Amino acid sequence: MLKAQDEFIEQACDAPNSQIKQEKGVAAYLKYLFAGLFFGVILVKGEIISWLRIQEMFRFQSFHMYGVIGSAIVVGAISVWVIRKFNVKTLAGEEVVIVKKPFQWGNVWGGLLFGLGWGITGACPGPLFAQIGSGSTFVIVTLLSAIAGTWTYGKFYKKLPH
Amino acid sequence: MLQWLSQPWPWYVAGPLIGLTVPLLLLLGNKQFGISSSLRHVCAACFPAGIDFFKYDWKHEIWNLVFVAGLFLGGLLAATLLKNPEPIQIADATKLALSELGVQDFQHLLPSDIFGWEHILSAKGIVFFILGGFLVGFGTRYAGGCTSGHSIMGLSTFQLSSLVATIFFMVGGFITTHLLLPLFLN
């Protein structure tokens, strides 16, 4: 069990850096700043940061959010298929790695708790940052509370069912 | 051009562009798309407190913090240079349902009846900011990812765990919307 939990810690990071080559200097990181900027603009212009749009989704009263998430998955899946099919390499010339996310019961319990919070705040972690940037500065409070939530999980995760 | 970009983007523009973030990050440097990890890296960098969960080489994951800094700048750019002067267009049925709960502002992305500095110290503020934020941070880490890491990256790569997580994200949202919001807003 403990070993499984240790593995879980290693894998719990949902967005690991799988690049072998070390990145150093501001220039190397600038590309991720632009990638984030690109994503942030879409979140605001697609109105995905809107609590009202999230309400439409949870009430089945608009196709907008289902269209956004559904088409994003389709495009993401096709892109990954193309990368694999043609063995497209990364900028550093490395093989593209897709990290497996093994099932654990946290997907259920954590998923449910996050869903409750998503309904309340109308924001997943990405939109929190974009909301603050778009001028809703009070969301800093929500973000700090989310950081506190993550910290609390880290403190007690060994006692939680996974 | 700017005027055209300033209009709200329909789902068939926003969705595919979000999907392209997956190969973009993979090809830029073998990075797996996911945002809730940034919250963990902040804990590891600023408040590790000797907790095992925060003992890892967060510096290796700095790209993720740079990415969310970009998200912030993207929000700023979209709300200034690309600002949409029109009020948000929401389904009438949603307006009706929410106005029955006392929401009156349908002009802004975040209705000012609930969201704003003036509400932070009220009971509503504690629910919508403190409790909501806490659940987002706790839940995403417990689930091993959020909408980006599971619902976009995970489902794009056919991970069963991400399908389970996404289903329960939705279940949680339905419970809040249909059972809890009437309590919170009255």
* Residue B159's pLDDT band (cuts 50, 70, 90): very high
Locate the chain B residue with the closest alpha carbon to A31.
B28
Structure tokens at B32: 């797996």
Question: pLDDT averaged over chain B?
Answer: 96
pLDDT in tens, B90-119: 999 999 999 999 999 999 999 999 999 999
Q: Where are the domains of chain B?
A: 1-86
pLDDT in tens, A30-67: 999 999 999 999 999 999 999 999 999 999 999 999 99
Compute the average pLDDT of residues B120-129. Answer: 94
Question: What is the per-residue pLDDT for A21?
Answer: 85
Cβ–Cβ contact A5 with B under 8 A: no
Smallest Cβ distance to A133: which of B32, B43, B75? B75
Residue A17 DSSP SS3:
strand
State the Cα angle at A19 between A18 and A20, rounded to 5°: 115
Which amino acid belongs to residue B181? L
Nearest-Cα distance to chain B for A26, in Å, is 10
* Residue B30's pLDDT band (cuts 50, 70, 90): very high
Question: What is the per-residue pLDDT for A149?
Answer: 98
The residue among B142, B167, B185 with the most chain A CBs within 10 A of its CB, best to mutate, is: B142
Locate the chain B residue with the closest alpha carbon to A12.
B144
Residue B31 DSSP SS3:
strand
List, as one string, the DSSP characters of A93-133.
SPBP--------THHHHHHHHHHHHHHHHS--HHHHHHHHH
Nearest-Cα distance to chain B for A1, in Å, is 16
Structure tokens at B97: 């349902």
**Inter-chain touch B37–A14, beta carbons under 8 Å:** yes
pLDDT of residue B152 exceeding 50, the answer is: yes
Phi/psi zone of residue A26: left (φ > 0), alpha (ψ -120 to 50 degrees), beta? alpha
* Residue A2's pLDDT band (cuts 50, 70, 90): very low
Question: What is the per-residue pLDDT for A7?
Answer: 52
Question: Is the distance from CB of B75 to CB of A133 less than 8 angstroms?
Answer: yes
Compute the average pLDDT of residues B175-183. Answer: 97
Chain B, window 105-144: residues with a beta carbon less than 8 angstroms from a chain A beta carbon: 106, 109-111, 114-117, 119-120, 125, 127-144
Question: What is the per-residue pLDDT for B138?
Answer: 98
